[in-house]
Structure 1
Amino acid sequence: APTWRDDQFYKKGQYKFDLDLDLHELRAAIGDEYIIILRMHYLVAENFDLGPYEGFAYDFSHYEDIRDLYMISDLLITDYSSVFFDYANLKRPMLFYVPDIETYRDKLRGFYFDFEQEAPGPLVKETASVIDWVRETEQPSFTLPEAFSPFYEKFCYLETGESSKRVVEVVFSEK
């Protein structure tokens, strides 16, 4: 679930996106066990030619509710997209594929917090590292990275699964 880039466009207001992740390499390495669901940012939800990856990679960019995709996913691969804040509530593995982090950080948008120190998963720049990390998550000894707990406590602490109950208690409590 990558986000769009301010510097990749056809013309003003019409953005494009280069998927740097090598789907051929991914399919060769993990295609017998995994499928990839692409959910592109709406500004770059182009029709990718996924014909060569039939049965492995699917474009769900126009699927209405990304939360359904979170629920069926074993792990999230994203870049700087804010989807990781929502996905973190599931307490599932996340990987940040950031081959252009220097450009994104220094020239495009930057970050609202210390992303490189506080991201709730590893930051990688190559498809081979993505494959290695996916394999790591399969190990019985796998645990979420050390950075996950502080991230969760800082950004997800209100998500207890009892929001409706809290609203009812506040609205209908006797005063």
Structure 2
Amino acid sequence: MIQQIKQTARLLKKRLEFGCFSYHYWLRPIEKNKIVVCAYYGRGYADSPKAIVAELLHQGLDIVWLVRDGQEETLPAGVRAVRYGSKQAIRELATAKIWLDNCRQKYSPPKRKQQVYFQTWHGSLALKKIEKDAEEQLQLGYLARAKSDAKKCDYMMAGSDFCERIYVESFWFRGEVLASGTPRCDALLKMDMALIQHVAEAFDSKPMTKFALYAPTFRQGENLTAYLHDFSKVHDALQSRFGGEWKILVRLHPNVARLAEHINYDEIILNATDYPDMQELLAVSEWLITDYSSSMFDMAIAGKKVVLYTPDLDNYLKKERAMYFDLKELPFQLTKTPEALVSQMEQFDEIDYHKKLAIFRQQIGSYETGNASVIVANKIKEIMTEE
């Protein structure tokens, strides 16, 4: 009870600081050509908002991106940086025609009737249950913010019937779901040679280098015990089974990024934890090794190879939230030991894998085409030009 009172008090304080006082900004007119964007609470230029904004550049719009200190350099020319959570950020939001975000807003003014809020969410499909479906596991402060944010949202975008159903039933959302696809996944469905070269250069590699990405999610204990540590046999299996020159990118979840220094790297095993855009790593990688990360679904959308390394599967299922999917019924092979992981890669049956992917995409009712960013950007431009 005491904890709930403290959380409620903190929430009220935030609302007073970043909500009610900002009504005076309503004296300022809404700027019809201004869009204010944020991703991951100010962590920089990333995810679906990045893909959408890329389609809006050079349109003569005033594009404001809310970033934390040090993230300004991630923004491209034509995007104006404003510090996340600042009074200027509140002022920009209060006078913008369009809001675009991929997380529940923490700091925002009361929304005006003429303003339109696009919520992209930060995923395509979810493995673990989220929002209303995980209400008992979420903190009181977050739940209050999520429900308040949902009331403000006008549009969400889905890449499948499954996603649309979740947004309608479990997000306290009463706006319109655009059947556009997932903007952040567009890059995975297209062969972008400029992006391939950009990532290769970032890791001092040749453009023809083949990448496998190891991207596990985090555990509550914040340690590396359940993670893969020795990549030498995985690398050998990739080279012998698929040919070419391979390198393995290792990217830890932001919640445990500080542990990345405890992994041994060399010219073949590369530290990608600080790389600014996870989607770019997925786009250039032919293989993904993960455990319970929803990135498996992004790769499935693109028809890329995924194998799950889950040595702590039984324990994880007991401790974590309930899941939307039974891991054993997904189209990805489950492995519990390094030896089994290597064996699966050596014996990988591509024909069988793609059959399973096709069945899975049919089950979720996927409508990803690689054009989601264009569809959403066009919707935004349409709204901004309306009288």
TM-score by length of 2: 0.37
Q: Which residue matches 1:101?
A: 313
Deviation at 1:84, TM superposition (A): 1.1
Residues 76 and 94 of structure 1 are in contact (CA less than 8 Å); yes or no, is this contact kept in structure 2?
Answer: yes
Deviation at 1:107, TM superposition (A): 2.5
Q: Which residue matches 2:217?
A: 3
Give, as a single letter, the amino acid of the residue that structure 1 aligns with 2:332: G
Aligned mates of 1:77, 1:36 — CA distance in 2: 10
Residues 238 and 345 of structure 2 are in contact (CA less than 8 Å); yes or no, is this contact kept in structure 1?
Answer: no
Structure with the higher fraction of residues in helix conformation? 2
Give, as a single letter, the amino acid of the residue that structure 2 aligns with 1:105: L
Q: Which residue matches 1:48?
A: 261
1:163 aligns with 2:372: yes
Deviation at 1:34, TM superposition (A): 2.9
Larger Rg over CA atoms: 2
Aligned mates of 1:125, 1:42 — CA distance in 2: 24
Q: Which of 270, 273, 282 is equivalent to 1:70? A: 282
Number of matched residues? 160
User: Counterparts in 2 of 1:121-136, with a 5 A limit?
Assistant: 121-136=332-347
Q: Which of 220, 223, 234 is equivalent to 1:16? A: 223
Could you give the per-residue CA deviations for residues 84-119 of structure 1, whole angstroms, max 9, x where no partner exists?
1212221011001111111111223342222221x2
Give unmatched runs, 5+ long, in structure 2: 1-214, 240-244, 383-387
Q: Which of 135, 142, 147 is equivalent to 2:350? A: 142
Give identity over the alignment, percent. 28
Could you give the per-residue CA deviations for residues 45-78 of structure 1, whole angstroms, max 9, x where no partner exists?
1233444x41221111111101111122111100
Deviation at 1:3, TM superposition (A): 0.5
Deviation at 1:82, TM superposition (A): 1.1
Could you give the per-residue CA deviations for residues 16-47 of structure 1, whole angstroms, max 9, x where no partner exists?
33253241552674486532211111111123
Superposition RMSD in Å: 2.7
Give unmatched runs, 5+ long, in structure 1: 9-14
Residues 308 and 333 of structure 2 are in contact (CA less than 8 Å); yes or no, is this contact kept in structure 1?
Answer: yes
Residues 27 and 56 of structure 1 are in contact (CA less than 8 Å); yes or no, is this contact kept in structure 2?
Answer: no
Structure with the higher fraction of residues in strand conformation? 2
Partner-residue secondary structure (3-state), 1:4: coil
Residues 2 and 78 of structure 1 are in contact (CA less than 8 Å); yes or no, is this contact kept in structure 2?
Answer: yes
Give, as a single letter, the amino acid of the residue that structure 2 aligns with 1:82: S
Aligned mates of 1:156, 1:21 — CA distance in 2: 33
Runs (4+) of structure 1 exceeding 6 A deviation are: none
Q: Which residue matches 1:86?
A: 298
Residues 22 and 127 of structure 1 are in contact (CA less than 8 Å); yes or no, is this contact kept in structure 2?
Answer: no
Aligned mates of 2:255, 2:360 — CA distance in 1: 28
Residues 50 and 57 of structure 1 are in contact (CA less than 8 Å); yes or no, is this contact kept in structure 2?
Answer: no
Residues 238 and 346 of structure 2 are in contact (CA less than 8 Å); yes or no, is this contact kept in structure 1?
Answer: no
TM-score by length of 1: 0.76
Aligned mates of 2:225, 2:290 — CA distance in 1: 14
Give, as a single letter, the amino acid of the residue that structure 1 aligns with 2:252: M
Aligned mates of 2:380, 2:347 — CA distance in 1: 44
Deviation at 1:146, TM superposition (A): 4.2
In structure 2, relative to structure 1, the CA distance for the partners of 1:156 and 1:100 (3 Å cut) is farther
Q: Which residue matches 1:112?
A: 324
Aligned mates of 2:317, 2:365 — CA distance in 1: 24
